Structure 1
Amino acid sequence: MTSNLEMRPLWGSPKRNVKSSTNLFCVAVGIRQKERVDKMVRKFLSSNFVVMLFHYDGIVDEWKDLDWSDRVIHVSAINQTKWWFAKRFLHPDIVAEYSYIFVWDEDLGVANFHPKRYISIVEDEGLEISQPALDLAKSEVHHQITIRSRNSKVHRRIYKSGDSGNGCDGNSTTPPCTGWIEVMAPVFSRAAWRCVWFMIQNDLIHAWGLDIRLGYCAQGDRTENIGIVDSEYIVHYGLPTLGDTDEKASYKSYESNARIEVRRQSYSEFQVFKKRWKNAVDQDECWNDPFPEPVK
């Protein structure tokens, strides 16, 4: 038995003057990025998305002055990551009515992004897992594959040279050369999310290492079913505030002790995730890896 996230009236029938939402937008938010989140939410609501805010700073009432506040779902838990929220509130049976699930960070600019056009593109391209490309001029970029290409609508791989044979060429089949997205703005099909949700570890809340394994949820060939959408792109400002308790600190000073500890914890969880994956593979005698690591 499935459910959904549609809010119900205390009495009478729900209003049916608009088409039921078929896509879900979730974002982890803190009050310090209210203005940026406001722009994102307005875009997705205008495209008839269900919207859910994960409040990691526990502040909810200060969002009530926005005219859309009562139309979205608010979930609050102090200092929890979006993956902690997703594991607990986005069970596949709960979100089974939604064709696409967006699980985004808050530090993103959407001036050049249009949700409906994006959905149309991933449907046409058959992308089960995707993300919008990043505007290189304005974004903090961690991986070259996420950079927007101005000459294409979608790209699925990157070509670059590298030392010691570590480059990405047309024969590369491993992330992050192909079959890979970053996890700051992922978009999952219903089927892909059912797989990804089970891959998220309940106790590893930063989810480092998950990006490398997303290809196993691509419902087939990850080099074809995972891609970066260039024509609908965003800005990644790289301004994390989760864990930063100094409300007066500027974004430029976010390298506080708290942020350093968050990064240290993330790396530690990454090592645990890799070990768990290896142990699971070793213990499953029936496992046949569709994406075996290349012999070096």
Structure 2
Amino acid sequence: MRFLLQEIHLPTSISTSFDIAGKEENINQISESPFSNGSSPRIYVSTNPRGAELLPPGIVVSESDFFLRRLWGEPSEDLKKKPKYLLTITVGLNQKKNIDRMVKKFSEDFQIMLFHYDGQTSQWDEFEWSKSAIHVSIRRQTKWWYAKRFLHPDVVAAYEYIFIWDEDLGVEHFNGDKYMELVKKHGLDISQPGLEPNNGLTWQMTKRRGDQENDLVHGWGLDFALRRCVEPAHEKIGVVDSQWIIHQVIPSLGSQVRARCKNEWSLFQNRLANADKAYLEEIGNR
């Protein structure tokens, strides 16, 4: 299964995985560690992450980011401008020219992150933008393998929106900044551009409609899972028709993954059905 893309906005209501040590309410939790010999008390902050309880308050923070840092000068002067959005693309060298066209559709407000499934990274240095991009290289892995491991909520919380794109998208009719204007105008937390209706395998609900600016639906089945992330889902999830793209349907890893994709899609559907059943049972027991 080749999922096309998702742009995901992390609502401020979603909390990070642990609290920042050093808050006023945590100070009272500093106590003598059970590992101390009793002669000299040691710091023990129970709200720190597991394994970091002995670190003083304020050292452990709840979030990180992908902002690039210098090796010299004052840390406070490292970032002249913080990117608002994160654009991630799973890529192979064969699609290098198309990726260059795609990246140039996004302004400096977007941090670029490439996931290399073919292990080739140095060949991208011919592009100036690549020198400030983040490159992650693990061979023969797919978009969602990368996303689940490198787009942890505590890291991407620094960005307003995250774009998770494939390498085979035509962007002649797309502009990143204009797209963001529409997404914010309609209050969408999860969205995608409309797709050229006469090109490739495309679900009806994701095809571009020329007479509309925005459709409040989202396809490829992920809407059934991602709807749990926003409320109300029918207002927060949508397809932006006036900024549209072409899915070129170029198989990244060839036919070798098709059988595996079908198998994983079946497993995903079963998990989704079980989750829905459990949710309905919970509602019925209230």
| TM-score, L = length of structure 1 | 0.69
Q: Which residue of 253, 260, 270 corresponds with 2:265?
A: 270
The letter for the 2-side match of 1:24 is: L
Q: Within 2, Cα distance between the matches of 1:264 and 1:51?
A: 31
Q: Within 2, Cα distance between the matches of 1:285 and 1:225?
A: 22
Q: Within 2, Cα distance between the matches of 1:16 and 1:89?
A: 22
User: How far does residue 16 in structure 1 lie from its aligned partner after superposition?
Assistant: 4.2
Aligned residue for 1:68? 129
Q: Do the aligned partners of residues 277 and 153 (structure 1) sit closer, same or farther apart at CA in structure 2, a change above 3 Å counting?
A: closer
Aligned residue for 1:107? 168
Aligned residue for 2:29? none
- Quick check: 1:43–1:114 contact (8 Å CA) kept in 2? yes
Aligned residue for 1:250? none
Q: Do the aligned partners of residues 287 and 16 (structure 1) sit closer, same or farther apart at CA in structure 2, a change above 3 Å counting?
A: same
5 Å matches for 1:1-296?
1-13=62-74, 14-17=77-80, 19-44=81-106, 46-137=107-198, 139-156=199-216, 179-182=217-220, 210-217=222-229, 219-242=230-253, 244=254, 259=255, 261-280=256-275, 287-288=282-283
- Quick check: 1:110–1:235 contact (8 Å CA) kept in 2? yes
Q: Do the aligned partners of residues 279 and 16 (structure 1) sit closer, same or farther apart at CA in structure 2, a change above 3 Å counting?
A: closer
Aligned residues: 221
- Quick check: 1:180–1:215 contact (8 Å CA) kept in 2? no
- Quick check: 2:206–2:218 contact (8 Å CA) kept in 1? no
The letter for the 1-side match of 2:243 is: E
Q: Do the aligned partners of residues 153 and 280 (structure 1) sit closer, same or farther apart at CA in structure 2, a change above 3 Å counting?
A: closer
Q: Within 1, Cα distance between the matches of 2:130 and 2:155?
A: 22
Q: Within 2, Cα distance between the matches of 1:227 and 1:72?
A: 28
User: For the aligned residues, what is the CA RMSD?
Assistant: 2.0
User: How far does residue 281 in structure 1 lie from its aligned partner after superposition?
Assistant: 5.0
Aligned residue for 1:201? none
Q: Within 2, Cα distance between the matches of 1:59 and 1:240?
A: 18
Q: Within 2, Cα distance between the matches of 1:87 and 1:72?
A: 19
Q: Within 1, Cα distance between the matches of 2:224 and 2:275?
A: 16
SS at match of 2:242: strand
User: How far does residue 10 in structure 1 lie from its aligned partner after superposition?
Assistant: 1.1
- Quick check: 1:56–1:79 contact (8 Å CA) kept in 2? yes
Q: Within 2, Cα distance between the matches of 1:146 and 1:231?
A: 12
- Quick check: 1:281–1:287 contact (8 Å CA) kept in 2? no
The letter for the 2-side match of 1:9 is: R
Q: Within 1, Cα distance between the matches of 2:204 and 2:281?
A: 36
The letter for the 2-side match of 1:228 is: V
C-alpha deviations, 1:127-171, integer Å up to 9, x for none?
11110001224x313211111111111112xxxxxxxxxxxxxxx
Q: Do the aligned partners of residues 232 and 280 (structure 1) sit closer, same or farther apart at CA in structure 2, a change above 3 Å counting?
A: closer
5+ residue gaps, structure 1, are 157-178, 183-208, 245-258, 290-296
